[in-house]
Amino acid sequence: MTVNKQSTDKGSAPVHYVIWDLGPGGMELGILHYIDHFGPGRKLYVYGIKARENRVFDENRILVGKGGLQPGNAYLNYFKYCRKYRKAVFHLNNGGPVILLLTLLAGVVNPVYHIHGTIYWKTPVQKIYLKASWWAVRLLMIFRKVTFVANSGYSASVFQDKVFPADTRQVYNGFDTGRFIARRSRRKALRKMAYIGRLQTGKNVDMVVRLFEKAAADRPELELHIAGSGPLKEQIDRRCAESPYADRITCHGFVSDIDVFYGEMDLFVFLSAYESFGNVVAEALLTGLPVLTSNVPAFREIHGGDGAFDLGDPSDYPEVERRFLHALDHYPELADKAYELSAEMGARFSVASHLSQITAIYEKL
């Protein structure tokens, strides 16, 4: 495909999805939904800026670019890619200001910048050069347009506060709500407590184990089930093996039939220190599974801010423990609230709703 053959009709123009890598993850899953929805009517591309292999996408259905296999600088290669396809629709998934800047400089008109996180820099040095890059984007936006989309009201507010107050549209992550609703039930008794998610820094999985141990002393029937993988897996496995209640803890690793897993659990504790949305919380509630979360604002968007689901700030462990034990003592009420909440969540977080909103955005570019 060459530049002079590209369609200028954004209603049917090719779409280029830009991500850093081509491995399994939430943003990649979202692109799979886009392939199903837009594939019949548009030519679709996905470009992994630093990817050396494709572990997700069917290359018979979408054209895949692996930036990591190309000689030379990854940023320069991406600029050339944008320049070649500049008349198409570009949908950037959390690329950062440098990638957005290169996209605009290459001549792409009105790219979609999709915000999926709330952490924009981790060190003072990063803050200096990334803020400078965002300022450069702002200057370019005097002459160029960017459509900003955020996956929650919280991620939008953090972006507007830390980066700049751009008009940002909220489009919740879409997922297959039907498979979770099919597992919906009102939980009757507390026997299986769970953690579901990545095993990495900031998720506070060790705190979930600690809370379980506190409750297990007085609840001989209580079990802990940990589903997920990540860089801290070996550390978490060792921590569980050393627990005085190790015989009641099961580390499952990655679980493919996660809807079935949710359906078998009685309580989900998720104490992540930061999230822009939290798919696992929404998925769990769709099955009627009671959840106890940290006080991240994105979780409040999902469960409506009901204090019964909120354990507070993970940095204040005594308060988290107090609320946790209180919730266990009032488990029937918590289970009733989760079951009632699940009834209205299906439409809000469905793939169909997400795709409808993304389609409307593309049509207005």
What is the mean pLDDT of the segment spanning 279-307? 93
Note the pLDDT tens digit of each residue in 220-229: 999 999 999 9
Residue 287 in this model has a pLDDT that exceeds 80: yes
pLDDT at 180: 95
Percent of the chain scoring above 70 in pLDDT = 97
Please, which pLDDT band fits residue 2 given cuts at 50, 70 and 90? very low
Residue 295 has pLDDT above 80, yes or no: yes
Q: Is the pLDDT of residue 330 over 50?
A: yes
Look up residue 243 and give its two tokens. Answer: 């627990």
Q: How much is the mean pLDDT over the chain?
A: 93
pLDDT of residue 277: 85
Whether the pLDDT of residue 1 is over 70: the answer is no
Given a contact cutoff of 8 angstroms between Cβ atoms, the answer to whether 211 and 288 are in contact is no
Confidence of residue 155 (pLDDT cuts 50, 70, 90): very high
Region of poorest pLDDT, from 27-31, 149-153, 355-359 = 27-31
Residue 24 pLDDT: 80
Alpha-carbon gap, residue 116 to 152, rounded angstroms: 8
Helix axes 26-38, 351-363, angle to 10 degrees: 70
**How sure is the predictor about 176, in pLDDT bands with cuts at 50, 70 and 90?**
confident
Which pair of structure tokens corresponds to residue 34? Answer: 């886009």
Res. 10 pLDDT band, cuts 50 70 90: low
Instruction: In whole angstroms, give the CA distance from residue 21 to residue 49.
Output: 6
CB atoms within 10 A of CB 117: 17
Q: Name which residue leads in pLDDT, 355 or 118.
A: 355
Query: What mean pLDDT is predicted for residues 11-37?
Result: 90
Q: What is the pLDDT of residues 85-126, one digit of tens each?
A: 999 999 999 899 999 999 999 999 999 999 998 889 989 999
Q: What is the average per-residue pLDDT within 268-294?
A: 94
pTM: 0.80
b/e sequence 12-49, b meaning 16+ C-beta within 10 Å:
ebbbbbbbbbbeebbbbebbebbbebbeeebbbbbbbb
Q: What is the pLDDT of residue 9?
A: 55
- Tokens 């009834």 appear where? 343
Does residue 11 have a pLDDT over 70?
A: no
pLDDT band at 346 (very low <50, low <70, confident <90, very high): confident
- When pLDDT is cut at 50, 70 and 90, the band that residue 36 belongs to is very high
**pLDDT tier, 3 (very low <50, low <70, confident <90, very high otherwise):** very low
Domains of the chain plus CATH, in order, are 3-174+350-363 (3.40.50.2000), 177-347 (3.40.50.2000)
Distance CA 161, CA 159 (A): 5
Q: Is the pLDDT of residue 8 over 60?
A: no
- 180-237 pLDDT, tens digit per residue, is 999 999 999 999 999 999 999 999 999 999 999 999 999 999 999 999 999 999 999 9
Q: Is 320 in contact with 312 (CB distance < 8 Å)?
A: yes
- 115 pairs with which residues across the strands? 150
